[in-house]
Amino acid sequence: MKLLILILFSISLLAEEINKSITLRDSLELARKNNPFYIAEQYNLAIAKGDVTTAKLLPNPILNNQIIVKQDGFNTFNPIDPINKNPGGSAWLARNRQDWLQITMKIPVAGQRKYSIELAVKKLQLSQQNLAEFERNLLYIVANKWIDVWFTSEKLNIIKRSKQYSDELLKINEIRLRNQVITQAEFLRTQNVVDQYDANLAVAEQAYKNETRNLQFLSGAQNPIRIALEDNTLVYDVTPEDSKSLLKYAIENRADIIANKISQEAAQVNVNLQEANAYPQPEVGFIYNPQNSQPYAGTYITIPIPINNRNQGEIQQSRAELGQVKSIQTALEQKTQSEILNALGEYEVAKINFEKFKKIFQTSEKVLETVRYSYLKGGTTIIDYLDAQRSWFNSQILYYESIFNFRKSFVQLQYVTGKIQKL
């Protein structure tokens, strides 16, 4: 009995998950958790952390062992004779052999290890900002796809309503044709409209399925999803006077701008590292060298002589890279300013158009009902009725297109300012 209850409970949870409609915020949160490309991108952090670990490691000691045997000892390899104590030319005897045991290690100088660690840490910070920039772009795509699904869903509903009106009119006109109230031409006009809506409905249904699948993939959802048609996430009021504050916010928070600032810091550290690498790295250590049973010990040091190679090419390249990322910063800020001004302009235009088409939308419904009633009572022609229905259909599409553009402009504004990651 308990097992049956558990199974039924699991099925109910699954059904609830499948039937749950997701808001725009829900889709963004799903994408953060489940988008396969975003998950793959996160491995770059682990890779960068590995570079930090590597940079912190000291060089490995180098062990060198050499054995030199006298020629007679090498040619006569006999064990020690315990009776006459005559070892002959055995290579095992210390007096016939010279040993060389050397252990050394390369020593970083001039801050080489310090700058290597700093550079690895900066690259880790850069990877974090690159991931944040990937997220910003991903959320922008997901948000726009959510709006696409919403719009195709509303278009589908409009076509269904239009088809319902036409189907009802067709049934009425079939009766009226039999009763010879209307002509054959008038009936055929009605039939043609029904056929057109049938074709449009098939296209709209397929478009809705396609867009829904695209959103499901982007959000990483395991089950088919439905969006919440009523969503207040995209209700926001912005005025052109906000452009300066929005630009300030973007410069301080946009991931690509922060990433470039970190790139400048990393480039400067790389310059320091390459200049430090111009200093020769010595290899020092200890030597133990018994020769023919006489022990010797000493020190070892090797220093490259910087005559030809003083790391000139890497220093030159690192300085050029520093100049490059500094010049990009100005371009990024100018680009961001243009993007914000453009997005604000598009938002204001979309807002005005939405208010205009909202009024048309509200009156078109009344006009259609009035003409429809008049046609059924014989007060107007089929042409007037079909024209009213076409006007109603167009006003419906234009109204939802205005909402579509309004929401798209809002998402664009959130994207260029970097606020989309706060939704």
Q: Is residue 148 part of a domain?
A: yes
Amino acid at 116: S
The whole-number average pLDDT for the span 83-94 is 58
DSSP string, 268-332: HHHHHHHHHTTS---EEEEEE--BTTB--EEEEEE----SS-SSHHHHHHHHHHHHHHHHHHHHH
Tell me how many domains the chain contains. Answer: 1
Q: Is residue 384 part of a domain?
A: yes
**pLDDT score recorded for residue 186:** 85
Q: What angle do CA 106, 109, 114 make, to 5 degrees?
A: 105
Show the 3-state SS of 319-363: HHHHHHHHHHHHHHHHHHHHHHHHHHHHHHHHHHHHHHHHHHHHH
Q: Is residue 133 part of a domain?
A: yes
Model-level pTM?
A: 0.84
pLDDT-based confidence at residue 14 (cuts at 50, 70, 90):
very low
The whole-number average pLDDT for the span 130-154 is 96
In the sheet with 97-106, reading across from the earlier edge strand, the strands are 62-69, 97-106, 283-288, 297-302
Q: Which residue has the tokens 């022609």?
A: 381
Q: Is residue 398 part of a domain?
A: yes
**pLDDT score recorded for residue 230:** 79
d(C-alpha 276, C-alpha 361), whole Å: 71
Choose the most confident range, by mean pLDDT, from 97-106, 126-135, 225-234, 292-301: 126-135
Name the region of 398 (left: φ>0; alpha: ψ -120 to 50; beta: rest).
alpha
pLDDT in tens, 355-366: 899 888 888 888
Q: Is residue 136 part of a domain?
A: yes
pLDDT higher for 347 or 20?
A: 347
pLDDT at 235 over 80: no
The whole-number average pLDDT for the span 35-41 is 96
pLDDT higher for 255 or 187?
A: 255
Length of the chain as a residue count: 423
CATH number at residue 379: 1.20.1600.10
pLDDT-based confidence at residue 1 (cuts at 50, 70, 90):
low
pLDDT at 9 over 50: no
pLDDT higher for 231 or 107?
A: 107
Q: What average pLDDT does the structure give for the chain?
A: 87
pLDDT in tens, 322-352: 999 999 999 999 999 999 999 999 999 999 9
Q: Is residue 94 part of a domain?
A: no
Q: Which residue has the tokens 């054959």?
A: 184
* Domain limits for position 356: 21-59+109-281+313-422
pLDDT in tens, 167-200: 988 888 888 888 887 788 888 888 998 899 999 9
**pLDDT score recorded for residue 12:** 43
pLDDT-based confidence at residue 89 (cuts at 50, 70, 90):
low
pLDDT higher for 73 or 296?
A: 296
d(C-alpha 204, C-alpha 151), whole Å: 11
Q: Is residue 64 part of a domain?
A: no
pLDDT higher for 94 or 405?
A: 405
Q: Is residue 235 part of a domain?
A: yes
The whole-number average pLDDT for the span 298-306 is 91
Name the region of 293 (left: φ>0; alpha: ψ -120 to 50; beta: rest).
left
Map residue 100 onto helix, strand or coil: strand
> Nearest 5°: phi and psi at 64?
-130, 125
Q: What angle do CA 355, 359, 362 make, to 5 degrees?
A: 135
pLDDT in tens, 364-392: 888 888 888 888 788 888 888 888 888 99
